[in-house]
């Protein structure tokens, strides 16, 4: 029987709360990475985001935007126009997620290229 090796990776949490879980709960939501990505270039209105992400339903987009605002990732600003319009922008926290999403896109691109590369 092989001797069990001790894990050398640093701990992810303090035993009561795992930050990886928090981040994955956020990014694991339907369409969330897409919304964050499309807000990366600047403010977008609801209808603009809807057209940026064609398969998303208005209900899901609305729900995700509310969640992202509650978590402090997105800032909702009502513009004093007639009729009023609403802009959504990334907060500082939201901008911190962009390198993570970019890394996921890069790895996904490489995975697509190598799909089927391993023999059976």
> What's the pLDDT tens digit per position in 82-98?
988 999 999 999 999 99
Residue 85 domain-assigned (yes or no): yes
User: Residue 33 belongs to what domain range?
Assistant: 29-105
Domain count, the chain: 1
Residue 47 domain-assigned (yes or no): yes
- pTM to 2 decimal places: 0.81
Residue 20 domain-assigned (yes or no): no
Which two structure tokens, joined as six digits, stand for 55?
């398969």
Averaged pLDDT, 25-48? 94
pLDDT of residue 118: 56
CATH number, position 39: 1.10.10.10
Contact 36, 90 (CB under 8 A): yes
């Amino acid at each position: 029987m092989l001797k069990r090796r001790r894990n050398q990776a640093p701990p992810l949490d303090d035993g009561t709360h795992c930050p990886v879980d928090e981040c994955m709960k956020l990014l694991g939501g339907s369409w969330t990475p897409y919304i964050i990505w499309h807000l990366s270039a600047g403010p977008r209105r609801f209808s603009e985001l809807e057209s940026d992400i064609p398969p998303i339903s208005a209900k899901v987009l609305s729900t995700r935007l509310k969640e992202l605002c509650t978590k402090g990732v997105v800032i909702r600003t009502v513009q004093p126009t007639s009729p009023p319009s609403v802009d959504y922008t990334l907060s500082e926290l939201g901008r911190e997620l962009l390198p993570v999403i970019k890394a996921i896109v890069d790895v996904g691109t490489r995975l697509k290229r190598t799909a089927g590369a391993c023999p059976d």
